[in-house]
């Protein structure tokens, strides 16, 4: 990922490079590779990076109703609650898609012998799904917990 970033900066030498955007993309790509096994900055999976930016912007908002519960109506009037619900639904859809991709991959690779499984590099989602399937760990983890853990990596 670092080599790709350096190459991108080198290509933009005659002009001005937006290093802030470049480093944000690098950080997202690294986290996506660790969490999902691939990067999503290329616009795949419902434009994941754009959704992350909206998510971060909503973190900076001030939800009045969280601090003064009887003024919660203000969040509805100014549209903050609707924005939060929209982003949450989009994130849920993307994370469901990612989980389904990984489940399909695990089911496909699960039928091979142990040597083939060792060769496949596991990402964070793969590990969480294996913990979910493994009943000897002493606790259970459901899809919502897995999605929350993934989302925590970006928050």
Q: Looking at the domain assignment, is residue 5 inside a domain?
A: no
Q: Looking at the domain assignment, is residue 85 inside a domain?
A: yes
Confidence bin at 42 (pLDDT 50/70/90): low
Q: Looking at the domain assignment, is residue 23 inside a domain?
A: no
Query: Is 25 a residue whose pLDDT tops 90?
Result: no
Could you read off the pLDDT of 94-139 as tens digits, one per residue?
899 989 988 888 777 665 444 455 556 788 898 898 888 887 778 8
Q: Looking at the domain assignment, is residue 113 inside a domain?
A: yes
Range of the domain at 82: 46-154
Q: Looking at the domain assignment, is residue 39 inside a domain?
A: no
What is the pLDDT at residue 136? 78
SS3 state of residue 37: coil
Q: Looking at the domain assignment, is residue 128 inside a domain?
A: yes
Query: To which residue do tokens 């100014």 refer?
Result: 78
Confidence bin at 144 (pLDDT 50/70/90): very high
Contacts of 2 (CB under 8 A, 6+ apart): 26
Q: Looking at the domain assignment, is residue 25 inside a domain?
A: no
Domain count, the chain: 1
pTM: 0.72
Q: Looking at the domain assignment, is residue 9 inside a domain?
A: no
């Amino acid at each position: 990922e670092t080599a790709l970033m350096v190459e991108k900066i080198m290509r933009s030498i005659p002009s001005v490079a937006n290093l802030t955007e470049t480093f944000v993309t690098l950080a997202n790509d690294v986290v996506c590779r660790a969490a999902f096994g691939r990067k999503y900055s290329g616009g795949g999976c419902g434009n994941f990076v754009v959704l992350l930016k909206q998510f971060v912007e909503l973190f900076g908002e001030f939800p009045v109703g969280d601090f003064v519960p009887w003024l919660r109506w203000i969040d509805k009037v100014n549209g903050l609650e609707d924005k939060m619900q929209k982003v949450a639904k989009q994130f849920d859809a993307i994370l469901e898609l990612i989980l389904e991709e990984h489940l399909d991959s695990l089911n496909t690779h699960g039928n091979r012998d142990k040597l083939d499984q060792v060769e496949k590099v596991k990402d964070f989602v793969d590990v969480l799904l294996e913990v979910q399937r493994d009943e000897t760990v002493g606790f259970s983890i459901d899809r919502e917990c897995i999605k929350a853990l993934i989302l925590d990596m970006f928050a």
